[in-house]
Chains A and B, each alone.
Chain A
Amino acid sequence: MPASSATATLNVSAVSGAHEDTNELFARWQHDEDRAAREALVRRFMPLTRSLTRRYGRSSEPFEDLLQVASLGLLKAIDRYDATRGHAFQSFAVPTILGEMRRYFRDSGWAIHVPRGAQERALKVRDAQAQIAGETGHAPTVNQLAEFLELDVEQVIDALQAIQAYETVSLDAPRPGGDEEAPSYGETLGMDDERYELVELDVTLSSVLGHISPRQRMILRMRFMEDLTQTEIAERVGISQMQVSRLLRRSLDQLRMLTREPAEAR
């Protein structure tokens, strides 16, 4: 029964190890290759590892995956730590563990996945928003959304930013009022149909919407999601129809530029 007796040893040493000197444990592992000592060190510094994962992985999920990466960093730190240098293990372990998580973020394409995860969360928030509004007749507060979705307030606030971007993208939403009649977009004087332009841009749009202002996003939303005419938007926002026209033009040009650049760079 080597396996179970080893486990028993580990448990005992983990408990008794709580009072054992950290340097002593390092000596036992690094010089005597005592795996129980290594295990005791892992247990001792697991709270540190968890804490670092929580702090650094704030906007990452799932937590358990990242904790595994961080634990790997802890093992590396335990194996490489040189106690004779006189530094506390902690000051060596923190950068090693953070470095491991950082490398994981870079290698796994986390930089791309995070915005995607945020967008999914934004969809949930948007749906909850509609549901609560439907039930109560009022748009919910951030706290209500946070409670409803079991998210923290900050996650909801971030999601609300992303929603503004998302809503402008969802051009496939059915237009109210059916489509037998001539499109209302054409009603505006002297306007090209910007809607088609936006459809063209659709695929890459979500990645760049963050680069236009909230006001531009809101006007785009009113125009394309709520189907308001430029004149109606002008009334709602309190600017002239010409200004709405200019803003729409500018937003579309900006988005076109932003969505083109990466494609041409390839």
Chain B
Amino acid sequence: MINALWIVLLGMAIIFAVLGILLLVMVLLSKLLKPGEKQEKKG
């Protein structure tokens, strides 16, 4: 039972960590390749 709880906690933590790193890399990449390309305006 404790094993299952560990899987849940570690699983969610790893998913957020991996995707968080991917998010950072993609944000950096988009800034490096096209600085100032993305402009947000009220829709």
A, B assembled together: no
B contact set with A: CB distance below 8 Å: none
A contact set with B: CB distance below 8 Å: none
